Every structure is written in structure tokens, then in C-alpha cells.
Amino acid sequence: MAVKIDSVPVSEWGFFTLPRPMVIAGPCSAESEEQVMETAKGLSAFGIHVFRAGIWKPRTHPGCFEGAGVPGLKWLQRIKRELGMKVCTEVASEKHVYECIKHGVDMVWIGARTSANPFLMQEIADALQGTDIPVLVKNPVSPDVDLWTGALERLNMAGVKKLGLIHRGFTAMHKIAYRNEPGWGLAIEMRTRFPELPFFADPSHMGGSRKYLAEISQRAMDLGFEGLMVESHCDPACALSDASQQLTPRDLQRLLEEQITVRDADSDAADYRENIKALRSRIDVIDENLLSLLSSRMDVSKSIGQYKKDHNIAILQMDRWDALLDEMVRQGGSKGLSERFLRAFFNDIHEESVRVQNEVLSK
């Protein structure tokens, strides 16, 4: 489902120098003038032009460092002035928006706890009316693409046209290695809905630890994300928030230049085009065969339904299905297909077959 958003392409924002990835970097929180200046200098030294820093921090527990607040905006002004960087921060209320506009913040992002709240989204959208600054919307904490979409719609209806998305993963129901559940499929769904919007991945909040930054960033590049928002701090061990996931500017440079491979979105090279075309036509033929096999299978299901009806037999014989599924998993496994895929695929086929038989029986 494509949702219509009236947007200005990121190439016209004047923020990023392509090619990919477009990088936004800076500390989780602005802690002091020295800390932001030193970090920003380290980043700008290797070509990062867009600086992030949280001025107001949404902390899970009260009593933790909740950000420097308005005085921190003056530090961001200094970064703009002295280093020529663009600066951005998180806004979670209309007051934050007004302060950002007053202090010349170039771009804002909406955090995951805020994009989950339609009341706050409306308040922020109203406060942004009549401004021209870009707004990046993080996914809501819950895996809900409609809620994420609604946040974009509210901003767009208020006239915000420079819009982008940040994928930072979702709250996990169970303990996992990462801080957040990646849920890449939901990001792909948003990508399909809004192909024109620039898409950033936030490996810092998704991974929650320095050791996962490279693999998550690589995954994002493989999936064709245009950008990365990464937390970087001049002295990560002493950071007042998210200490374990921040990188020094030097380590971020190493990550970007040595540890990830950026894939091209596409290629115009003639041999690439020729080969990919040949491979895709093979896939097309196989898909056509799959469709015709599936349709023959459903025809047999209908006959079985009719036969069961004639003999007054129930549709479901679970023993038979369990045995068949196990056999398919065994055979498929020996052909290199994963158990997860085989179970999901054959269960879907079975469900459809039961539906078809039900139709026959209820006639």
C-alpha cells in the first residue's frame, strides 16, 4: 500500500553529500560544551557534516541524566558557527520545537517513544507548521507500521515536506542479544510505502553495544538504506547516557571506511544488466511453474474435499499433516532449505487447502 506524502527529495535539503551512506553522528546526549565541541571536531575532521546530540533525553527511569536542556542549544550554535556543520536534536513536545527554531537547529528527529504517541505527534506537527526544517521520524517502540505512518501523515498535513525515516528496532518481548528487535521486515514495509523518503538505520540503539555496530550497519547497507545515524562520543566510557553503544570519532571513521561495504542501489554496467536479466528470467520461469503447481495442488484438494463430503469424513486429519510436514522438513533440509521457511511455507499451503476443502464441504 503506497501512502501519498508530498515530500522534498533529500538531495534538495543541502545536508548530505552523496553517495551513500549519508551519515548523521554525534553523542547520545549533549553533556557539556567541551564534550560536544571535541566530538564534533573529531567527526568533521573526516567529513561528517551532520551532527546529532540529544538536548532533552527520554530516560526509562527518573533520576538519570535528562539532558542539558536549552543551554545545550547554544553549544550546537557554536558547532554550526565554528565548524560549519548542520546540527540536529530530538524533539518530544511543542516547547522543544519552539526552542529549536529559536536557536537555529537545522533538523529535528522524533524519538521512538514519541512517534508512538499520536497526541504528541499532533502537537509537534502543529508547532512545526510554517517552518522548513527537515524532520526524521524514528519507528515507534512497538512494531506498528501504521502508527509510524500516522506520525508521518500528521507532519505532512502540517506542511512538513522534508521528511525521512529512521529504523532503530522495536522493544523485544524476550531477552535478545541486541537492545532492540531489528524487525527489518517492517522497515522494508515502510520502504515500500514511502520509496521516495530517505531511510536511515540507527545501529547504535538497535544494537545497544559497540560490538554489533558493524554487522547492523552492513545489514542496513545490504538492504539499501541510504543513511546511518550513529552515536559518537569523544570519551564513550564516561558518557552520561548510552555509554556502551557509543564510538569515538576515530572508531566511527574506521567503521565507515574499513568495516562496511556499501552496495550500489543498481548498476548501469552492460554485463551486470545482461547477467542479472538472465538470472531474473530464470526466477520468473520457476515462479510460473510454482504457481501452476500450487494451482494443481489446490485442484486435488478440491477433489479430496468432495470425496470426504461424499463419505461424510471430517476435513482435518492432524496426524497425517504432522507426519507430512516432518517429512517435508526432512527432505527440504537435505536440499538446503531452512526449517523455519519450510514450516511456514507448508503450513500456509495447508491452511489454504483446508479453506478450499471447507468451501466444497459447505456447498
CB of 172 to ligand PEP, least distance (A): 13
Which of 86, 138, 154, 233 is in the footprint of ligand PEP by CB under 6 A?
138
Q: Toward ligand PEP, which CB reaches closer, 44 or 245?
A: 245
CB of 163 to Mn ion, least distance (A): 22
Name, in order, each residue with C-beta under 8 angstroms of 33's C-beta and a sequence gap of 6 or more: 74, 75, 78
Q: Toward ligand PEP, which CB reaches closer, 138 or 233?
A: 138
> What are the backbone dihedrals phi and psi of residue 127, each rounded to the nearest 5 degrees, phi first?
-70, -25
Using rule CB under 6 A, residue 168 touches ligand PEP: yes
CB of 231 to Mn ion, least distance (A): 6
Q: Toward ligand PEP, which CB reaches closer, 239 or 256?
A: 239
Name, in order, each residue with C-beta under 8 angstroms of 42's C-beta and a sequence gap of 6 or more: 232, 234, 248, 249, 250
Using rule CB under 5 A, residue 206 touches Mn ion: no
Q: Toward ligand PEP, which CB reaches closer, 31 or 202?
A: 202
Using rule CB under 6 A, residue 112 touches ligand PEP: yes
Using rule CB under 6 A, residue 28 touches ligand PEP: yes
Q: Toward ligand PEP, which CB reaches closer, 30 or 329?
A: 30
By the 8 A CB rule, do 104 and 130 touch? no
By the 8 A CB rule, do 198 and 22 touch? yes
Q: DSSP label at 139?
A: P
Number of residues located near ligand PEP, criterion CB under 6 A? 10
- Helix, strand or coil, per DSSP, at residue 262: coil
Rounded to 10 deg, the angle between the 184-193 and 145-157 helix axes is 40
Q: Toward Mn ion, which CB reaches closer, 226 or 242?
A: 242
Q: Toward ligand PEP, which CB reaches closer, 59 or 95?
A: 59
Using rule CB under 6 A, residue 205 touches ligand PEP: yes
Instruction: Report the Cα–Cα distance between both ends of the chain, in Å, rounded.
Output: 34
Over the window 216 to 255, marking each residue x when it contacts Mn ion by CB under 5 A and - when it does not, the resulting string is --------------------------x-------------
Q: Toward Mn ion, which CB reaches closer, 28 or 240?
A: 28
Using rule CB under 6 A, residue 111 touches ligand PEP: yes
CB of 24 to Mn ion, least distance (A): 13
Distances (CA, A) of 254 to 61, 129, 235, 250, 251: 34, 40, 16, 6, 5
In the chain, which ranges are E strands? 22-26, 50-52, 86-91, 107-110, 135-138, 163-167, 199-201, 227-231
Question: For the range 63-71, what are the long-range contacts, defined as Cβ-Cβ under 8 Å and sequence gap of 24 or more?
Answer: 64/241, 65/29, 65/31, 65/240, 65/241, 67/29, 67/30, 68/29, 68/30, 68/31, 68/32, 70/99, 70/103
Q: Toward ligand PEP, which CB reaches closer, 202 or 329?
A: 202
Which of 21, 54, 67, 208 is in the footprint of ligand PEP by CB under 6 A?
54
CB of 136 to ligand PEP, least distance (A): 10
Picking from 241, 245, 93, 234, the residue whose alpha carbon sits closest to that of residue 169 is: 245
CB of 91 to Mn ion, least distance (A): 15
111 binds, among Mn ion, ligand PEP, none (CB under 5 to 8 A by kind): ligand PEP
Residue by residue, DSSP assigns 174-241 as S--SSSSB--HHHHHHHHHH-TTS-EEE-HHHHH-SGGGHHHHHHHHHHTT--EEEEEB-SSGGG-SS
Which of 28, 85, 105, 163 is in the footprint of Mn ion by CB under 5 A?
28
Q: What is the rounded distance in angstroms from the CA atom of residue 128 to the CA atom of residue 136?
A: 13
138 binds, among Mn ion, ligand PEP, none (CB under 5 to 8 A by kind): ligand PEP
Using rule CB under 6 A, residue 72 touches ligand PEP: no
Judged by the rule CB under 6 A, the positions of this chain that interact with ligand PEP are 28, 54, 58, 90, 111-112, 138, 168, 202, 205
Binding interface with Mn ion (CB under 5 A): 28, 242
